[in-house]
């Protein structure tokens, strides 16, 4: 059976749990507290030298870090990764965009709002992050204003990769009312059979 090291607060982790749920794949979940150094122990670093969750462990003991690489691994041969070579590259393109332009702004703003003291310097940095995050959301909005899914005519791991933190963007101070294409796309994602939501902060 697959084992997933994860933290329920993490959108990067939620991406993987969401795909596993949509696929109906059983797995063992091992929670790690990212705030008390549980991903920086010698034992964990031996599995992932980068000290981060999510981390997938295959039945034979091999380890795979990086949420979007895990999605790619799990989606191979399923409808969640297109067959067409160009569409596969487009899926990866959105996933790299997610890690470079979206997550460091949309996810990190949410983290700061909940875990860091918002000093005046931090507030200025937060507003700069939000400005970059709004640009990333606008790039998504442009695509989703004229297509139901980010790539091709059906949902893919590109949609999953971008769903998790977008769905809780308000927890980082973003107002999604300005992005009607995104709001309709979130609802489409939430109507998929097997969908599971992000865990709200106040339920953790």
Which C-beta is closer to a second copy: that of 97 or that of 163?
A: 97
Strand partners, 6: 31
User: Could you tell me the strand order of the sheet in which 27-31 lies?
Assistant: 27-31, 2-6, 55-57, 63-65
Q: Which two tokens stand for residue 30?
A: 């091992």
For tokens 């983290």, name the residue.
111
- Note whether 101 binds a second copy by CB under 8 A: yes
Subset of residues 33 to 72 that bind a second copy, contact rule: CB under 8 A: 49-50, 58, 62, 64-70, 72
Which of 48/167 has CB closer to a second copy? 48
Which structure tokens are listed for 199? 């865990």
* 28 is an interface residue for a second copy by CB under 8 A: no
Pairing of strands 27-31, 2-6: parallel
CB of 91 to a second copy, least distance (A): 8
- Could you tell me if 97 and 136 are in contact, meaning their C-beta atoms sit under 8 angstroms apart? yes
CB of 195 to a second copy, least distance (A): 24
Shortest reach from residue 70's CB to a second copy, in Å: 7
* Integer Cα distance of 70 and 18 in angstroms: 12
Considering only 22, 34, 95, 151, the residue that binds a second copy (CB under 8 A) is 95
Which uninterrupted H or E stretch holds 113?
Answer: helix 108-115
Binding segment for a second copy among 36-44, 95-103, 126-134, 171-179 (CB under 8 A)? 95-103
Contact residues for a second copy (CB under 8 A)?
49-50, 58, 62, 64-70, 72-73, 76, 85-86, 88-90, 92-93, 95-97, 99-101, 103-104, 138-139, 142-143
């Amino acid at each position: 059976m697959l084992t997933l090291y994860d933290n329920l607060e993490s959108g990067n982790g939620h991406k993987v749990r969401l795909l596993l749920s949509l696929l109906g794949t059983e797995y063992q979940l091992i929670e790690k507290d990212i705030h008390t150094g549980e991903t920086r122990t010698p034992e964990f670093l031996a599995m992932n030298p980068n000290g981060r969750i999510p981390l997938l462990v295959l039945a034979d003991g091999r380890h795979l870090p990086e949420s979007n690489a895990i999605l790619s691994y799990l989606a191979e041969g399923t409808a969640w990764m297109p067959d067409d070579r160009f569409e596969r590259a487009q899926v990866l393109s959105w996933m790299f965009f997610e890690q470079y332009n979206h997550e460091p702004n949309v996810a990190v703003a949410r983290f700061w709002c909940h875990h860091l003291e918002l000093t005046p310097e931090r507030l200025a940095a937060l507003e700069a992050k939000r400005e970059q995050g709004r640009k990333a959301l606008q790039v998504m909005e442009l695509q989703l204003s004229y297509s139901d899914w980010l790539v091709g005519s059906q949902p893919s791991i590109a949609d999953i990769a971008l769903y998790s933190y977008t769905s809780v963007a308000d927890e980082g101070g973003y107002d999604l009312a300005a992005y009607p294409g995104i709001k309709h796309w979130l609802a489409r994602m939430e109507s998929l059979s097997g969908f599971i939501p992000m865990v709200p902060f106040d339920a953790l």
